[in-house]
Structure 1
C-alpha cells in the first residue's frame, strides 16, 4: 500500500470513528439530556452532555477537514457528511457509507 493510500485510509478510519462518536453524543443530547432538562427539570444533563457533544462535533469537523484536504471528495459528499452530523441517526448511515468508501480504497490499492 502506498503512503498516500495509507494516509487516505487513516483519514477515513478517523472520520468514521468521529462520525460514530458525534452521532452518539447528538442522540444522547437530543433524546436524553434535553428531555431531562425540560420534562424533569434536570438541567445538569445538558450542562454535561452539551460540551461533550460540542467537543465531538469539533473533532468530527477536524477529521472531515483532514480527509477532504487529501483530495478526491465531491462537494456533495462533503455536504452529505455535514448534514448527517446535524441530523440524529444520520451519522450512522454516514459511517456505513464511509466504511464502503474505505473498502473501495483498500480494494483499489490491492490492484
Structure 2
C-alpha cells in the first residue's frame, strides 16, 4: 500500500503540479505536493528498508524495491512485486508470514 501511495504522489507531482507551475504559473501546486511527496517517499523508503532487512530479501530485490521508488509508475510495479513476494513467503511458511 505504501508503494502505491508513494507512486501516486510522484505522478501527481510530475503530472499535475509541475505542469501547473511551469505552464499556468501556479507554483502553489508544487509548494503543496512537493513536501507531501517527500514525506511519502521517506515513509516508503523507511518501510522498505525495515521489511527488506527483517525478511532477508535478496540484494537484487532490495535494489528493485528502492529503485522503483524513484521511477514514475515504479511504485505500482513494486506493489505487485511485493504482494507476489509476500504470497510466496506465506506459502513457504504455511501461511504465517509476518506483516510490517
Q: Which has the higher helix share?
A: 1
| Higher RCO (CA < 8 A, seq sep 6+) | 1
* SS across alignment from 1:70: helix
Matched, 1:79 2:53: no
Q: Cα distance, 1:84 vs. partner?
A: 0.7
Q: Which residue of 1 aligns with 2:8?
A: 24
Matched, 1:70 2:38: no
Aligned length: 95
Q: TM-score, normalised by structure 1?
A: 0.81
**Structure 1: where are the runs of 5+ without partners?**
1-16
Q: Cα distance, 1:95 vs. partner?
A: 0.6
* SS across alignment from 1:87: coil
Aligned alpha-carbon RMSD (Å): 1.2
User: Within 1, Cα distance between the matches of 2:73 and 2:4?
Assistant: 9
User: Within 2, Cα distance between the matches of 1:105 and 1:75?
Assistant: 17
Q: Give the 3 Å change call, closer, same or farther, for CA 99–79 of structure 1 in structure 2.
A: same
